[in-house]
Amino acid sequence: MDLRSVGDRLEASAGLDPIVEAAHRGVDAVLPRGPVKDSLHGVWLGHPLHPLLTDLPIGFWTSAWVFDLVGGRRTQPAADVLIGLGVATALPTAVAGLADWSELKKPEQRTGLVHAACNLTATALYAVSLLARRRGARRGGVMLAMAGATAATAGGFLGGHLSFRRGAGVNAAAGAPSLEDWTEVQAAGDLTAEQPTALSVDRAELAGVETSRGPAALYARCSHEGGPLEEGDLVDGCIRCPWHASRFRMDDGSVVSGPATAPQPVYELRRDGERLLARRRPS
């Protein structure tokens, strides 16, 4: 099997949808949108939390793998402690991952489901390995840890696919135009204080609003997954994304609520006769 196509095939596997939908309902019931879920997304960090946490179990388990392989009797206690630390840190890592997973598009959720299943299998194998070691069955414990490492590697492969092929968790607004000089924009209608208006400039879309301080705009591709902010609504001085309800402050583009973690680029607008001009505000 060509490893390069595994993630693509999983994304197209509609047969996974009943499990994806049931799991989605479960995550929504346990983790509704709000401050707790925003903390798990990493809104407070300005960066997704899940990929940062994954370093902990991966690091602990990889170190235990080395001790098991070449350490001999002397490093057995250290290997056991590392496996226990890996299991303990895998749990918050999984919860943060589930929060992110529930706000992805369906194809990514299919791959994400298998990614999660691999990692939960790895965690269970390492937990049983620890029990076996405690009971003196060291050889069996080491074999279980090797099986856990294999499952974690498969999970890591799919996590890499989600991040680097699909861009899950990557700032989708990173390509916003720099517009250092005032540049004319084309507006789809008059700017209002009630809802965003689509503006286009330099082959990019902005979402313009008439605020109490004058006209202003945000880059229109939401930093979470690229949702169309020009189709969003205005809530308390923020644009709310129509796809997963992230809210960005018009003043400075900051994230008021997730799942987005990266701020939205802000553009200053001014009128010059009939023309509307925009330039990017330095962050």
Binding site for ligand FES (CB under 6 A): 222, 224-227, 241, 243-244, 246, 259-260
8 Å CB contact between 263 and 142: no
Least CB distance to ligand FES at residue 98 (A): 16
Query: Which of 22, 166, 53 has the alpha carbon at shortest distance from 104?
Result: 166
Burial of 143 per CB tally in 10 Å (0-12, 13-18, 19+): middle
- Measured from the Cβ of residue 236, the count of other Cβ atoms closer than 10 Å reads 9
Residues 6+ apart with CB under 8 A from 116: 94, 97, 98, 101, 155
Question: Which of residues 141 and 263 has its CB atom nearest to ligand FES in the complex?
Answer: 263
Least CB distance to ligand FES at residue 163 (A): 16
Least CB distance to ligand FES at residue 241 (A): 3
- Measured from the Cβ of residue 242, the count of other Cβ atoms closer than 10 Å reads 14
Least CB distance to ligand FES at residue 210 (A): 22
Question: Which of residues 58 and 222 has its CB atom nearest to ligand FES in the complex?
Answer: 222
Cα angle: 83, vertex 88, 89; to 5 degrees: 100
Strand duo 255-257 + 266-272: pairing: unpaired
Least CB distance to ligand FES at residue 172 (A): 7
Question: Which of residues 11 and 100 has its CB atom nearest to ligand FES in the complex?
Answer: 100
Question: Which of residues 133 and 244 has its CB atom nearest to ligand FES in the complex?
Answer: 244
Question: Which of residues 38 and 225 has its CB atom nearest to ligand FES in the complex?
Answer: 225
Tokens of 180: 């250092």
Distance separating alpha carbons of residues 59 and 204, to the nearest angstrom: 41
Least CB distance to ligand FES at residue 248 (A): 9
Cis check: omega of the bond before 259, within 30 degrees of 0 = yes
Question: Which of residues 133 and 247 has its CB atom nearest to ligand FES in the complex?
Answer: 247
